[in-house]
Amino acid sequence: MLHLQNYINGALVPPTSGQYLDNFNPALGEVYSLIPDSDERDVAAAQAAAQAAFPAWSTMPKEKRSALLLKLSGLIQKNLDRLALAESVDQGKPVWLAKSVDIPRAVSNFHFYATGILHDSTEAHAMEETAINYTLRTPVGVAGCISPWNLPLYLFTWKIAPALASGCTVVAKPSEITPMTAYLLSELAIEAGLPAGVLNIVHGLGPKVGTAIVSHPEIPAISFTGGTKTGETISSIAAPMFKKLSLELGGKNPTIVFADADFEKSVHTAVRAAFSNQGEICLCGSRIFVERSIYEKFRDAFVDGVKKLQVGDPMLDESWIGAIVSKQHYDKVLSYIELAKQEGGRVLCGGTALHPEGRCKNGWFIAPTVIEGLSYDCRTNQEEIFGPVVTLQPFDTEEEVLQYANSTRYGLACSLWTSNLSRTHRMAAKIHSGIVWVNCWLLRDLRTPFGGMKGSGVGREGGFEALRFFTEEKNVCIRL
Ligand code: NDP
């Protein structure tokens, strides 16, 4: 069986412990490879390699750094099919989705930051004839990057690319549940000729490897994407050490549909927003609020649309929904469906596990589930489920739906459907979320800063904000 390796100081190496963890194919419910069960010794080796590589990498001319990262971007593109297949086997998502979204986005992440640094600039402020102030930005040092399992290579590279482009060296940990594409990335980094120690990838468990990265005194910046609870733990370690901290956390996003919206488009997009990637996207719209005058018509059309989504073998083009990422997560999602029923919810479709015929019969599949009849403040509507489960609820007024939408501890994204321009502006200003999509979902220019409010996170990723995050800023004031 394939043993994945850590990538430390330019080489693929086994974990110091010599121990490995099972890596499952969720569509089959079977172990298909083993991943290093690393610990703080591996993180210390990775940090030392990154520290040693920092002086040369951080002072390398931008053009040269950019060329290396563009080469890596090109290699990801060249290996798109292989990476998409690996991501699908590891994560459970349909292979067509990995091919059309996840891997192309990893290509773009490196391309965007490799070219972005060539056009970045700093500010200068002249005080007439008295003085000139300018801002100096220098890479912060060794950056720690920790990413989740839902969009494995997409989110891993979204952290690594700006860190490397800005001149930091990196110690990174992918989710232990989906390590394969990060492992393949380390092979491609070697092929691209990335200098030894510039990028280090340590596989293993969050509480061991993740904690060792977060608490290492010589890793001054931590970029984390994952659950809100883990974000709390990380903050409690990193904040007293005064580390730079970027936290992209959970969501419980509202989709709000007014009666004056384009009906067909709103139904079609709400279905996609609810169930793409098995509902395992932090930006999925899992609470759908519909103006009462169209509620029943919308509900029926929505449920019809959901019933047409095929659940099955991620290798097949016709499968729109694949497997749930792990047995533990599968059990968690099913337990929330039970909770919804106990709270008085009516299951309109789905509500059960599925066992496709053939090779996936032991995989972890759940039918896309739509529930109505719940109050906005029940647990089902307040806690992040992060799976193919959504609720529908009618509303009468803007004030009422704002109260529903803003009632959770989260504030990541919202999809708002209306053709009324004034209402759009009114609502967009009042919704507690880091991004408001109007008459669309999941559209984003890579230059746009991205992040959540409240329990959905601290700081902004994406765009030039990410380059700022990985640098120290200094203001220099020169008396003329
Ligand atoms: P987790 O918080 O469980 O894990 C995220 C990463 O942190 C994993 O690599 C994990 O390792 C690691 N980790 C776990 N415990 C610790 C620790 N104590 N110290 C340091 N690192 C640790 O999240 P999931 O992987 O379950 O991902 C799903 C969550 O991510 C959802 O809440 C989702 O909303 C959120 N998310 C947010 C996004 C955003 O942009 N706001 C985007 C995508 C997802 P291991 O896997 O080994 O446990």
Residues 196 and 337 in one domain: no
Residues 148 and 273 in one domain: no
CATH number, domain containing residue 78: 3.40.605.10
Here the tokens at position 373 are 């009849």
Ligand 1, atom 40, residue with closest C-alpha: 248
Asked if the model's pLDDT at residue 462 lies above 90, the reply is no
For 121-140, write each residue's pLDDT tens digit. Answer: 999 999 999 999 999 999 99
Distance from Cα 230 to the centre of ligand 1, integer Å: 6
**CA–CA distance, 371 with 375 (Å, rounded to integer):** 11
Distance from Cα 257 to the centre of ligand 1, integer Å: 30
- Does residue 411 have its Cβ closer than 6 Å to ligand 1? no
Q: Confirm whether 451 is domain-assigned.
A: no
CATH number, domain containing residue 430: 3.40.309.10
- Does residue 234 have its Cβ closer than 6 Å to ligand 1? yes
Question: Which residue among the candidates 176, 248, 384, 461 is catalytic per the annotation?
Answer: 248
Ligand 1 site-directed mutation target among 149, 153, 245, 252, most atoms within 8 Å of CB: 149
Q: How many domains does the chain have?
A: 2
**CA–CA distance, 109 with 225 (Å, rounded to integer):** 16
**CA–CA distance, 233 with 309 (Å, rounded to integer):** 37
- Please tell me the predicted confidence (pLDDT) of residue 229: 95
Indicate the pairing of strand 169-173 with strand 142-146.
Answer: parallel
- Does 145 participate in catalysis according to the annotation? no
Q: Confirm whether 411 is domain-assigned.
A: yes
Residues 243 and 262 in one domain: no
Q: Confirm whether 450 is domain-assigned.
A: no
Asked if the model's pLDDT at residue 106 lies above 90, the reply is yes
Q: Confirm whether 257 is domain-assigned.
A: yes
- Please tell me the predicted confidence (pLDDT) of residue 460: 87
- Please tell me the predicted confidence (pLDDT) of residue 325: 98
**CA–CA distance, 224 with 283 (Å, rounded to integer):** 16
The alpha carbon of 290 is separated from its chain's Cα centroid by a whole number of angstroms, namely 27
Question: Which residue among the candidates 145, 168, 282, 414 is catalytic per the annotation?
Answer: 282
Residues 307 and 360 in one domain: yes
**CA–CA distance, 413 with 423 (Å, rounded to integer):** 18
pLDDT band at 461 (very low <50, low <70, confident <90, very high): confident
- Does residue 148 have its Cβ closer than 6 Å to ligand 1? yes
Residues 203 and 260 in one domain: no
Here the tokens at position 157 are 């590279």
Indicate the pairing of strand 285-291 with strand 253-257.
Answer: parallel
For 387-419, write each residue's pLDDT tens digit. Answer: 999 999 999 999 999 999 999 999 999 999 999
Residues 181 and 135 in one domain: yes
Which atom belonging to ligand 1 lies closest to the Cα atom of 226? 30
Residues 200 and 300 in one domain: no
Distance from Cα 389 to the centre of ligand 1, integer Å: 20
- Please tell me the predicted confidence (pLDDT) of residue 411: 97
Q: Confirm whether 339 is domain-assigned.
A: yes
Residues 309 and 241 in one domain: no
Which atom belonging to ligand 1 lies closest to the Cα atom of 149? 25
Residues 233 and 275 in one domain: no
For 48-81, write each residue's pLDDT tens digit. Answer: 999 999 999 999 999 999 999 999 999 999 999 9
Q: Confirm whether 263 is domain-assigned.
A: yes
Residues 66 and 106 in one domain: yes
Q: Confirm whether 46 is domain-assigned.
A: yes
- Does 472 participate in catalysis according to the annotation? no
Q: What percent of the chain has pLDDT over 70?
A: 100
Residues 464 and 411 in one domain: no
Residues 101 and 125 in one domain: yes
- Does residue 230 have its Cβ closer than 6 Å to ligand 1? yes
Distance from Cα 224 to the centre of ligand 1, integer Å: 8
Q: Write out the residue range of the structural domain in which residue 173 sits.
A: 2-249+456-479
Ligand 1 site-directed mutation target among 23, 42, 160, 230, most atoms within 8 Å of CB: 230
pLDDT mean over 328-348: 98
Asked if the model's pLDDT at residue 432 lies above 90, the reply is yes
Here the tokens at position 241 are 């050490």
- Does residue 206 have its Cβ closer than 6 Å to ligand 1? yes
- What is the 3-class SS of the chain, one letter each residue? CEECCEEECCEEECCCCCCEEEEEECCCCEEEEEEECCCHHHHHHHHHHHHHHHHHHHHCCHHHHHHHHHHHHHHHHHCHHHHHHHHHHHHCCCHHHHHHHHHHHHHHHHHHHHHHHHHCCCCEEEECCCEEEEEEEEECCEEEEECCCCCHHHHHHHHHHHHHHCCCEEEEECCCCCCHHHHHHHHHHHHHCCCCCCEEECCCCHHHHHHHHHHCCCCCEEEEECCHHHHHHHHHHHHHHCCEEEEECCCCEEEEECCCCCHHHHHHHHHHHHHHHHHCCCCCEEEEEEEHHHHHHHHHHHHHHHHCCCECCCCCCCCCECCCCCHHHHHHHHHHHHHHHHCCCEEEECCCEECCCHHHCCCCEECCEEEECCCCCCHHHHCCCCCCEEEEEEECCHHHHHHHHCCCCEECEEEEECCCHHHHHHHHHHCCCCEEEECCCCCCCCCCCECCEECCEECCECHHHHHHHCEEEEEEEEEC
Q: Confirm whether 406 is domain-assigned.
A: yes
pLDDT band at 269 (very low <50, low <70, confident <90, very high): very high
Distance from Cα 150 to the centre of ligand 1, integer Å: 9
Report the mean per-residue pLDDT for the chain. 97
